[in-house]
A and B are shown apart, each in its own frame.
Chain A
Amino acid sequence: MVNLTINGQPVTAPEGTTILKAAQGAGIHIPHLCYLEGFNEIGACRVCCVEVEGERAMVPACINTVAEGMRIHTNSPRARATRRVNVELILSQHDCKCATCVRSGNCRLQTLANDLGILTIPYEQDLPSEKGRLWTTTFPLYRDYTKCIKCMRCLQICDKMQTLSVWDLAGTGSRTHIDVSHNRVIKESDCSLCGQCITHCPVGALRERDDTQRFFAALADPDIVTVVQIAPAVRSAWGEGVGLPGNLATVNRLAAVLRRLGADYVLDTSFGADLTILEEAAELLRRLKGGELARWPMFTSCCPGWVRFLKSQYPEFTAQLSTAKSPHQMLGALVKNYFAAQKGLDPARIRTVSIMPCLAKKAESELPTMRTGQGPDVDLVLTTREIDRMIRADQLDPAALPESDFDSPMDAFSGAGVIFGATGGVMEAALRTAHFLVTGQNPDPEAFRAVRGQEGRREFTFSLGDTSLRCAVVSGLGNARRLLESLKAGRARFDFVEVMACPGGCAGGGGQPISREDQELAAARGSTLYALDGARSLRFSHENIQARQLYRDYLGSPGSELAEQLLHTDHFGWDMPGTGGSI
């Protein structure tokens, strides 16, 4: 332990603790902007600088550790001046039009400037030129050069967490800014659209393409029938963005909100997840038996960020992806082909809208391979953040709305479908059903606890009758890269692998609400999903009566010709940029 004083107050902290953390432990808050534990420990913004007696210059608290006898001042005149001037300098290169910023009210810089009482900026505004701030309007990821404070977090997250290095510094000297790496434009890059750069941006420099107005327009059009579905992970997070506590922010309350917004029908993507399981489990057993997995495993395909990653970085593995569409695409296809007939609706008038924790889903829904004779499976994808913004736009008070049921005949769903939103959930759901398909008996749904957890890579072996299935669960694309490298080198062998692009799975998705305090919420949200699963009486996808009825009345069996046509996709039917074609 090390003894020191901060602002005269004696503090004891373990050796190796940063000044920032030691202060935090003593209840002393040191403001900071760029610091992101484990990823961006570079002392760039200099907002956290403190005065250490005996040192020539100010010391950034985020990356320096405490030492015995240190005397630190966080609010000395020098510390105050340093903090204030550095924030003023940052503001001089930031478009401070907070009223039109997506992050207003949830912005570290705004809070800090307000807290410091900065009422005027003594420096001339220095923003990129009109030409220098151009960005595509169609790509699902949007960058605002005038908001970027060059904290480097996006760059570091993409480098270190996702290993895609989409971002890099461009320009030198005063023109240094963050841009797409290797002088590319974003549309030509191999961006996976995981959106982790957005959820780790402290300001409004990064966001999703805003599709709220398109949704409002569809809702308002009397000739259009809107069928909205809600992804499993959204229920664990949507309340955060509208200040609703978790116990009130249920998926059925969100259904009620959507109806109030004007949605004609509301469905739960968990039903699609149950179908995905039925298709994927059957596919796994078929491919296992057919010897297709002798060298490389079958990969889950429900995460479009992962699919984009694999196709751009390791196209040789494309055939290993399950051909099953992701749950919302399946459900979208069924809405237009089955649900429409059930309800007597003209498919041409239907607009299917997915509320997703994800940006990559926006790109996925626009793929040429994600449509049937009735048009695109999904017409519009909105992130959790966008739906929260729509709730605020209409000044709705969700707490005042009674919960609402989903629309039949696709309103039943299992707990297995709900845990799709957490890392390991797809694997666990698939194994619950695969076990039944092989042995004819349901396993204990709690028998898969080993699959759960937040470690980026978890491996285990699971008995399926007489065969043992070698499985791995991976979340985060850096972990995915390491796994693929070991598969390529023959250092690892698996039969079935679940990959989610975002750490913690969709619960930590790039479209989820953003914590201003840099909290990583994937684990807590994942626990919410597991708790919802545990509380359900229906735990197995294959026991979903409505799904069974769907197969009996319409699809036939999993893998049937119609199921293939509606519920499966061709991963070779499109190209990632830089791999021989363009989307």
Chain B
Amino acid sequence: MNRLSIETPLHAQTVVQELYRDVSRRLTASPPGLCPVDMALNFLRLCHAQTCGKCVPCRIGLGQLEKLLQDVLDQRAGLETIDLIERTARVIADSADCAIGYEAAAMVLHGLQGFREDYEEHIRHGRCICGLSQPVPCVAVCPAHVDVPGYIALVKAGRYEDAVRLIRKDNPFPFTCAYVCEHPCEKQCRRQMVDDAVNICGLKRFAVDHSAPVPAPAPAPSTGKRVAVIGGGPGGLTAAYYLSLMGHKVTVYEQRPALGGMLRYGIPDYRLPPQVLEADIQHILSTGVEVHTNFSVGRDAEMSELQKEYDAVYVCIGAHADKKLGLEGEDSQGVISAVEMLRGIGEGRLPDLQGKRVCVIGGGNVSMDASRTAIRLGASSVTCVYRRRVEDMTALQEEIDDAFAEGCQVLPLQAPSRIEADAEGHVTALWTRPQIIGGYGRDGRPRPRDAAQPEFRIPCEAVIVAIGQRIDSRPFERAGLATDHGAIHAGENTFVPNTVNTFAGGDAVSGPATVIRAVAAGKVAAANIDSYLGFDHRIAVDLSIPAPQLTNMSRCGRVNLKSRNLLECRGDFELVKEGLTPEEAQQEASRCLRCDHFGYGNFKGGRNFEW
């Protein structure tokens, strides 16, 4: 007789735990374009399976809700059914004994608010109104819709030049993106249903690292039309590249001495070596784009003059202005904004942080860039101060990991309150108010608030502020372009309302975003400017994509990029990430499920050969 015993999970329970993990991966990879009512019903079924069966609202109520939702989907319901669903769900949410019940009902209510018209359409006409589609997930979620399965297949076949050509059909920054793209494509990779997302970005890097130079296609015959592009960053150069291939004469105006925008003046060399960026820029310029650097609209010419002089103008300036903390002591010596510091480094001016204790304020990618740069500049310590939790930081996880690895510290849940300086005005410390994480805000993230703890002093000699960027759009406001907090108003087609020939996109419109979003906007702008100018040029690539394997590979771990050994990275701005080995690339490319072929791919067309 055992009074107590060591519990070992039953085999069935172990397997169910594995299945939970399978389902959770599957949900992550859930494709866009599914019927929301159908999904709501099936979430509800999952919830109901979890019920303990004690309380009435959960045990019976969730089951009745299921039947009602099923009636909606099977056209057995009337519009009054929606009211019954709502009334029932509200009572369950109010009276179920535990979270299994009330949270399940809350999900139903949330859905009713979010897509009531879908419920109504199912009842009235037995159809979905959500524009059902099952596109290739990675291609669909890539803002520029790069043909991911296509280039992965080409990498697998060793056709690296073709891979680069295929990418350039949709994105003229294959080299840059291979190093710094945020790769939203990987977030919804269907391979997660099997094991883990394909390392798409790593494979792209393998392609560009192994490709021989590929000349740009010959531009279409000259149209005689002239287009001005204001801003020589990724968005502007993308528009310039495609417009140039379409036969238009493009002039890029860039306010800094060199092209590249934030890629050159915002991203440190150890993430994006200058020669990588240069490869893309030279390719783009080889199509005959004219460039004026050190040219600032509002100083060297008025926007209105350019609008008159050119047939069309594309505005895609970056978010280069910094945001201020608005704190006491912010103008002290040793306080610098991150964008300003990174820009200075891009122009060859290295700040002196040697032996200093540095505080970096902010939790985004720029903050990580600033922190890691400060380490390289010889700071004796780097403390990243953030008012939320580490898991709330908006920087990419791999950036945070690398920053930790290189010796940065993160001090979460500290809100900057003031900056202390000595008599000469030099920074001596950053004071913070300790925070406690609390309820959820409208943005769906938990909000920090002041904790009942005394102010905290962090002694330091430098403070780098990385709390966001702004757009300086005043020269464009003067020409009558409408703005909101500096962001220029433009439609989904990038056309600027109330102008004749002006288009805008990228950070200038969306606020600070990613390279691939700027590229996507540039591509959209190029197509619509071409149409506006009265043409219908198509950007296409002529190559065949290798056939997929007969059946897909069974479960296999994802290969991640390794970092160079970084025990000591002071003074070292060399590239950190090492590319895949040929063996790794081959295996990783084989993991691609080829959604361009399998499933909906070969049915509704998994590929656009032109746009």
Q: Is the CB of B550 within 8 A of A172?
A: no
Partner of B550, one of A59, A171, A183: A59
Residues of chain B from 72 to 101 with CB closer than 8 A to chain A in the complex: 73-76
Q: Is the CB of B35 within 8 A of A171?
A: yes
Is A532 interfacial (CB-CB < 8 Å)? no
Q: Is the CB of B75 within 8 A of A129?
A: yes
Residues of chain A from 158 to 190 with CB closer than 8 A to chain B in the complex: 169-173, 175, 179, 183
Closest to B129 in A: A183
Residues of chain A from 28 to 57 with CB closer than 8 A to chain B in the complex: 41-44, 52, 55-57
Q: Is the CB of A63 within 8 A of B602?
A: yes
Residues from chain A with a CB closer than 8 A to the CB of B35 are: 171-173, 175
**A171-B128 contact given A56-B552, A131-B76, CB 8 Å threshold:** yes
Residues of chain B from 95 to 152 with CB closer than 8 A to chain A in the complex: 125-129, 132
Chain A residues touching B, majority SS: loop
Is B38 interfacial (CB-CB < 8 Å)? yes
Partner of A183, one of B38, B127, B547: B127
Measured CB to CB, the closest approach of chain B to A430, in angstroms, equals: 36
Measured CB to CB, the closest approach of chain A to B546, in angstroms, equals: 12
**A172-B132 contact given A131-B75, A132-B126, CB 8 Å threshold:** yes
Measured CB to CB, the closest approach of chain A to B603, in angstroms, equals: 4
Closest to A58 in B: B551
Complex Cα–Cα for A422 and B239 (A):
51
Residues from chain B with a CB closer than 8 A to the CB of A132 are: 74-75, 126
Is B566 interfacial (CB-CB < 8 Å)? no
Residues from chain B with a CB closer than 8 A to the CB of A171 are: 35, 127-128, 132
Residues from chain B with a CB closer than 8 A to the CB of A58 are: 551
**A172-B38 contact given A132-B126, A179-B127, CB 8 Å threshold:** yes
Residues from chain A with a CB closer than 8 A to the CB of B126 are: 131-132
Residues from chain A with a CB closer than 8 A to the CB of B603 are: 42, 44, 152
Q: Is the CB of A129 within 8 A of B76?
A: yes
Partner of A65, one of B74, B547, B554: B547
Measured CB to CB, the closest approach of chain B to A61, in angstroms, equals: 11
Is B220 interfacial (CB-CB < 8 Å)? no
Q: Is the CB of A42 within 8 A of B38?
A: no
Residues from chain B with a CB closer than 8 A to the CB of A57 are: 551-552
Is B301 interfacial (CB-CB < 8 Å)? no
Residues from chain B with a CB closer than 8 A to the CB of A41 are: 602
Taken residue by residue from 47 to 78, chain B's Cβ proximity to chain A (1 for < 8 Å, 0 otherwise) reads as 00000000000000000000000000111100
Closest to A168 in B: B132
Residues from chain B with a CB closer than 8 A to the CB of A175 are: 35, 38, 73-74
Measured CB to CB, the closest approach of chain A to B73, in angstroms, equals: 6
Partner of B74, one of A43, A64, A129: A129
**A55-B551 contact given A42-B603, A132-B74, A152-B603, CB 8 Å threshold:** yes
Closest to A19 in B: B550
Residues of chain B from 547 to 591 with CB closer than 8 A to chain A in the complex: 547, 550-554
Among B34, B42, B552, B602, residue most surrounded by chain A Cβ atoms (within 10 Å):
B602
Residues from chain B with a CB closer than 8 A to the CB of A169 are: 132
Complex Cα–Cα for A223 and B73 (A):
51
Residues of chain B from 131 to 181 with CB closer than 8 A to chain A in the complex: 132
Among A55, A131, A171, A172, residue most surrounded by chain B Cβ atoms (within 10 Å):
A172
Closest to A489 in B: B536
Residues from chain A with a CB closer than 8 A to the CB of B38 are: 172-173, 175
Complex Cα–Cα for A115 and B602 (A):
29
Closest to A44 in B: B603
Measured CB to CB, the closest approach of chain A to B174, in angstroms, equals: 31
Measured CB to CB, the closest approach of chain B to A48, in angstroms, equals: 13
Closest to B71 in A: A129
Partner of A170, one of B34, B127, B551, B602: B127
Closest to B35 in A: A172
Residues from chain A with a CB closer than 8 A to the CB of B551 are: 55-59
**A43-B602 contact given A55-B550, A172-B34, A173-B35, CB 8 Å threshold:** yes
Complex Cα–Cα for A56 and B132 (A):
31
Residues from chain B with a CB closer than 8 A to the CB of A43 are: 602
Complex Cα–Cα for A52 and B551 (A):
10
Taken residue by residue from 393 to 409, chain A's Cβ proximity to chain B (1 for < 8 Å, 0 otherwise) reads as 00000000000000000
Complex Cα–Cα for A152 and B605 (A):
14
Measured CB to CB, the closest approach of chain A to B70, in angstroms, equals: 10
Complex Cα–Cα for A183 and B131 (A):
10
Complex Cα–Cα for A42 and B35 (A):
23
Q: Is the CB of B554 within 8 A of A56?
A: yes
Taken residue by residue from 11 to 38, chain B's Cβ proximity to chain A (1 for < 8 Å, 0 otherwise) reads as 0000000000000000000000011001
Residues from chain B with a CB closer than 8 A to the CB of A65 are: 547
Closest to B597 in A: A63
Residues from chain A with a CB closer than 8 A to the CB of B547 are: 65
Complex Cα–Cα for A57 and B554 (A):
10
Closest to A159 in B: B604
Measured CB to CB, the closest approach of chain A to B193, in angstroms, equals: 14
Residues of chain B from 246 to 301 with CB closer than 8 A to chain A in the complex: none
Measured CB to CB, the closest approach of chain A to B297, in angstroms, equals: 39
Residues from chain A with a CB closer than 8 A to the CB of B552 are: 56-57
Complex Cα–Cα for A152 and B145 (A):
26
Complex Cα–Cα for A6 and B73 (A):
46
Complex Cα–Cα for A52 and B554 (A):
16
Residues from chain A with a CB closer than 8 A to the CB of B127 are: 170-171, 179, 183
Residues from chain B with a CB closer than 8 A to the CB of A173 are: 34-35, 38, 42
Measured CB to CB, the closest approach of chain A to B407, in angstroms, equals: 45
Complex Cα–Cα for A171 and B550 (A):
29
Complex Cα–Cα for A186 and B554 (A):
44
Residues from chain B with a CB closer than 8 A to the CB of A152 are: 603
Measured CB to CB, the closest approach of chain B to A163, in angstroms, equals: 14
Complex Cα–Cα for A77 and B605 (A):
34
Residues from chain B with a CB closer than 8 A to the CB of A52 are: 550
Among A41, A44, A59, A170, residue most surrounded by chain B Cβ atoms (within 10 Å):
A170
Measured CB to CB, the closest approach of chain A to B310, in angstroms, equals: 28
**A170-B75 contact given A41-B602, A55-B550, CB 8 Å threshold:** no
Complex Cα–Cα for A42 and B73 (A):
28
Measured CB to CB, the closest approach of chain B to A268, in angstroms, equals: 44
Measured CB to CB, the closest approach of chain A to B381, in angstroms, equals: 52
Residues from chain A with a CB closer than 8 A to the CB of B34 are: 172-173
Residues from chain B with a CB closer than 8 A to the CB of A44 are: 603
Q: Is the CB of A183 within 8 A of B132?
A: no
Closest to A170 in B: B127
Residues from chain B with a CB closer than 8 A to the CB of A170 are: 127-128, 132
Measured CB to CB, the closest approach of chain B to A62, in angstroms, equals: 11
Taken residue by residue from 589 to 611, chain B's Cβ proximity to chain A (1 for < 8 Å, 0 otherwise) reads as 00000000000001100000000
Q: Is the CB of A172 within 8 A of B128?
A: yes
Closest to A180 in B: B127
Residues from chain A with a CB closer than 8 A to the CB of B129 are: 183
Residues from chain A with a CB closer than 8 A to the CB of B550 are: 52, 55, 59, 64
Complex Cα–Cα for A129 and B77 (A):
12
Measured CB to CB, the closest approach of chain B to A112, in angstroms, equals: 22
Measured CB to CB, the closest approach of chain A to B30, in angstroms, equals: 12
Residues of chain A from 390 to 427 with CB closer than 8 A to chain B in the complex: none
Q: Is the CB of A183 within 8 A of B125?
A: yes
Residues from chain B with a CB closer than 8 A to the CB of A131 are: 75-76, 126
Residues of A near any B CB (own CB < 8 A): 41-44, 52, 55-59, 63-65, 129, 131-132, 152, 169-173, 175, 179, 183
Closest 9 CB pairs of A and B: A172-B35, A131-B75, A57-B551, A42-B603, A55-B551, A56-B551, A59-B550, A173-B38, A183-B127
List 4 other contacts, CB 8 Å, given A129-B76, A173-B35, A183-B129. Answer: A52-B550, A56-B553, A57-B552, A132-B126
User: What are 19 pairs between A and B in contact, CB < 8 Å?
Assistant: A43-B602, A55-B551, A56-B553, A57-B551, A59-B550, A64-B550, A129-B74, A132-B74, A169-B132, A170-B127, A170-B128, A171-B132, A172-B34, A172-B35, A172-B132, A173-B35, A175-B73, A175-B74, A183-B127
Residues of B near any A CB (own CB < 8 A): 34-35, 38, 42, 73-76, 125-129, 132, 547, 550-554, 602-603
